[in-house]
Amino acid sequence: MTGSSLEAMRLDVERRMLRGERFTDVEDVIDATSLSSDEKSALWLLAWSYVHPKAQRREANAHIGRLAAATPARRTRARRRHLRVAG
């Protein structure tokens, strides 16, 4: 896609989010494009910025919870780490 196509998608994402479309539906529209991964990521972030902050936090915590449940806890010795200043 060209830069103008990216700009057209940006406008489309903003219009959809302002109309109140579900984030997941807008995400599907973004994924269906032939844009690069970086361009899709930028559009995803734009759409995500329209989601209410409480909903963003709830989704982030739910995702972290799923990851934590799927990852066994590591047993490590407690040790102190010190930062060193390079000079």
What is the DSSP secondary-structure string of 36-78?
-HHHHHHHHHHHHTTS-HHHHHHHHHHHHHHHHHHSPPP----
Place of tokens 């040790």: 79
The mean predicted confidence, pLDDT, of the chain is 89
Q: Which residue has the higher pLDDT, 36 or 79?
A: 36
The length of the chain in residues reads 87
Mean predicted confidence (pLDDT) in 48-54: 96
Place of tokens 């057209």: 8
Q: What confidence tens digit (pLDDT) does each residue in 3-20 have?
A: 789 999 999 999 999 999
pTM above 0.75, yes or no: no
| Pairwise CA distance, residues 46 & 43, whole Å | 5
Phi and psi torsions of 80, nearest 5°:
-85, 140
